[in-house]
Chains A and B, each alone.
Chain A
Amino acid sequence: MESFFRLFPEQASTIAARVDGLYTFLLGVAVFFSGLIFLLILYFAIKYRRRPGHTRAQQVGTHNLLEAAWILIPLAIAMVVFVWGARLYAMVMLSPPADALEVYAIGKQWMWKFQHPGGQREIDTLHVPVGYPVKMTMTSQDAIHSFYVPAFRIKMDVVPGRYTTIWFEASKPGVYHLFCAEYCGTNHSRMLGQVIALPPTQYQEWLRSNREVEPMAAAGARLFQQMGCAMCHDAASLAPTLVGVFGSPVTLATGDTVLADEGYMRESILDPRAKLVAGYAPIMPTFQGQLSEEELTQLVAYIKSLAPKPAGGG
């Protein structure tokens, strides 16, 4: 295979080439400075070697200008790298495009479970369309895992007890490695998967071929009734209404404001008193231990679907 001697993994996402650009710049900096040091040492080593006729060193005073130069020049380069790296990082980590497709992921020893909003479930394989941003909302059922797709240059820890998110846009059809990058126990190195990036039409076909499943929001709506959430939240006097709450700021009893994102939804289901909405009594019971991580994501998907301005995709 030609891949045996490559230095870069495949570039299969919109940011891969940008990350490689910064990496290449850094390689240039590294080669320049290590080359400079190496050549200087080699030159001095030969020129000033101790030999008959050259047994005494010639002492040289401190040179403040030189010191300033080799403090300030590396500092300037480091600042360029900092800004460059931080801008790309913000692009990957901060808010994904509003029209991103949503995929929910649950890591557990030692497998990946995915569910698409349409209800399609996958294990260790994730189908995504090329040319559309995909937002992953992820949590773990046990130890910390990490969702890593080298061809996309993205990685995000999958942490129990909270949601972490990352987004990417595949730019090239293909099958790519999915690795667990955070050590998670015995079969850590076998917690592998694959991301299959399909052209949009084939992706639609794949979704259709898996259509006989209950969409996540529908499953969430069912749970919303079953668990008795609707009794209070639909009445809107005992509990705040959830229509349109996702993505909006919520004023808490403490006077603080939080953004109602996936993590806030999850926390409010499991620990309702942690961030109580202003104007409501702390009467909601905890659902800790009564809902699986999968059911929680379905409830979250349902609450998100109640937004007046529905997010695209699916």
Chain B
Amino acid sequence: MESTAVTQHAHYLNVRYGLRSWLLTTDHKRIALLYLVSITFFFFVGGVAATLMRLELMTPQGDLVQSETYNRLFTMHGIIMIFFFLIPSIPAVLGNFLVPLMIGARDLAFPRINLLSWYVFDLGGVFTLVALIAGGVDTGWTFYTPYSTVYSNGYVVLTVVGAFITGFSSILTALNFVVTIHTMRAPGLTWFRLPLFLWSLYATSIIIILGTPVLAISLVLVGVERIFHVGIFDPTLGGDPVLFQHLFWFYSHPAVYIMVLPSMGVVSELITCFARKRPFGYTFIAFSSIAIAVLGFFVWGHHMFVSSQSVYASMVFSFLSMLVAIPSAVKVFNWTATLYKGAIAYDAPLLYALGFIGLFTMGGLTGIFLAALAVDVHVTDTYFVVAHFHYIMVGGTVMAYLGGIHYWWPKISGRLYPEGWAKFAALLVFVGFNLTFFPQYVLGYLGMPRRYHTYPDEFQVLNVMSSAGASILALGYVIPLVYLLWSLRYSPLAGPNPWGATGLEWQTPSPPPTDNFAVTPVVTQPPYAYDTQEEEAPVG
């Protein structure tokens, strides 16, 4: 039987045991798991903050927590979810695990830098958690000046240092990916034979390398003004408060693409595999990632249409923001067309991928609303924006992340996950998500500003709906945590390629041996060559 063969082979998990073997590992697969543990922890910390907020917002009055506390909750929710979960999620976990496997390499180009990046990440996390435990910070994740540099009485500097340090871990990971993809591809693996996941990670890495230093500089300037009272942003010292917004969004808008591009890559893998299809328009999907990465750097001013930025600058930013929507639309159309004439099996990863397309489409289309100047004047800084970016970053990124975790779980753990539970959780997440965030679009157009601890009575019904949905969503996130842990011990063994997928990562045992491949694979085919597969796809 195959299963006995699998249990006997030496792989990256059983090659050595003990804490030391994990903390000093340079194996990209183990580092991916270290990241998985770290970001899962942060996801649930950020989730607790969100839960308390949704409970508070059940009633118009402030009755569960004080305003100061509420402001600290949404700040921590934003900082933790963005810097410590969403940005590292797919790149640092799935990317770390898969980049070498997908290109037929033994590891990333710089394995020790890879380990360093995890330590740097956790160091930044420690600073942020210390700030949280010491009393928190109330600036919002955006750190707008002069509030953050003059008026806030939270632990701004500590938090900023945390985010600053963590930025270097993404830079290190991104550098590692770029160098690895350039130099370590297996013989025959040309650029246009790369899985689309790698195109999207490559584009993401470029954004991280170019954008993150700007965020680091902006955060340093916040610290400098707050501690030394050097006039940079504070107008009473001769500074310009709006300058900070330019610097901040120059990174933080591209950061949205850092969060969503990898998820697009995951979705391309899932759809092709479960439809047994080559992607419709491979080059269009690949180049739309690059187009998003490039255009994404020129649209930051669309966060500032009412900031007192020049009217004509706003028009240019609006125009460019319209353009950046097009490559995303191209991807959605191509994914849909990929299903055409496929042989589609509805395993949980595909459910997540289809959920992603639905939610991302709605998030993307409402992005056009926000790029349309006069509509943005009304809805910016309201719940409409909150709903929009949650559709992109939670509906999009988290759906794809969970889809990817399920899809590659057999490769990562060597075991299958329980399919019934996984389908149920995927459905729960999709329904819960819409119940939570759809009412927020309506709230936003009605005029409810974001970051409001208390609100006028007429907004209560929609807020209660949103909070009720959040309880379903929360359940949808807890269930996979439980059954994935359970599966590590009790699930059947997966075998090397349970999905009958084409990528190189499926041509090595599950879990892979430390060196990934016994013999360096030679690539002779285009990617997603499902038409040349010999065996028939399993009927699901």
Contacts and interface: CB of A to CB of B under 8 A. Distances in A.
16 contacts: A1-B458, A9-B445, A22-B372, A29-B368, A34-B362, A45-B344, A50-B276, A57-B342, A82-B319, A85-B374, A86-B319, A87-B374, A89-B311, A143-B151, A177-B456, A189-B453
A60 B344 contact: no
Given A142-B150, A182-B381, 17 more contacts: A19-B378, A57-B275, A57-B341, A62-B280, A67-B284, A82-B371, A84-B374, A88-B373, A89-B314, A150-B446, A151-B447, A156-B306, A159-B307, A162-B308, A183-B140, A186-B138, A189-B453
Interface stretch (B123-131, B325-333, B512-520): B325-333
B4 interface: no
Given A37-B332, A78-B368, A185-B152, A144 B311 contact: no
B277 interface: yes
Given A48-B340, A70-B329, A56 B315 contact: no
Interface string A22-34: 1100100110011
Nearest to A32: B365
B445 A7 contact: yes
A136 to B, nearest CB: 13
B147 interface: yes
B341 A146 contact: no
A185 B67 CA distance: 9
Interface of A: 1, 3-9, 15, 18-19, 22-23, 26, 29-30, 33-34, 37-38, 40-41, 44-45, 48-52, 54-60, 62-63, 66-67, 70-71, 74-75, 78-79, 81-82, 84-94, 109, 142-144, 146, 148, 150-151, 153-157, 159-162, 164, 177, 179-190, 192
Nearest to B540: A50
B145 to A, nearest CB: 8
Nearest to A5: B461
Nearest to A15: B374
Contacts of A78: 322-323, 325-326, 368
The 7 closest A-B pairs by CB, nearest first: A161-B235, A150-B447, A88-B374, A89-B373, A85-B372, A189-B452, A57-B276
Interface of B: 62, 67-68, 71, 138, 140, 144, 146-147, 150-152, 235-236, 240-242, 275-278, 280-284, 305-308, 311, 314-315, 318-319, 322-323, 325-326, 329-330, 332-334, 336-337, 339-346, 354, 357-358, 361-362, 365-366, 368-369, 371-378, 380-382, 442, 445-447, 449-456, 458, 461, 530-531, 536-537, 539-540
Nearest to A60: B341
A308 B277 CA distance: 76
B211 to A, nearest CB: 23
Contacts of B68: 186
Contact of A75 (B326, B346, B447): B326
Given A177-B447, A186-B138, A188-B71, A48 B369 contact: no
B343 A183 contact: no
A51 B539 contact: yes
B16 to A, nearest CB: 41
A243 B1 CA distance: 98
A144 B143 CA distance: 12
Contacts of B450: 183
Given A26-B368, A144-B146, A85 B341 contact: no
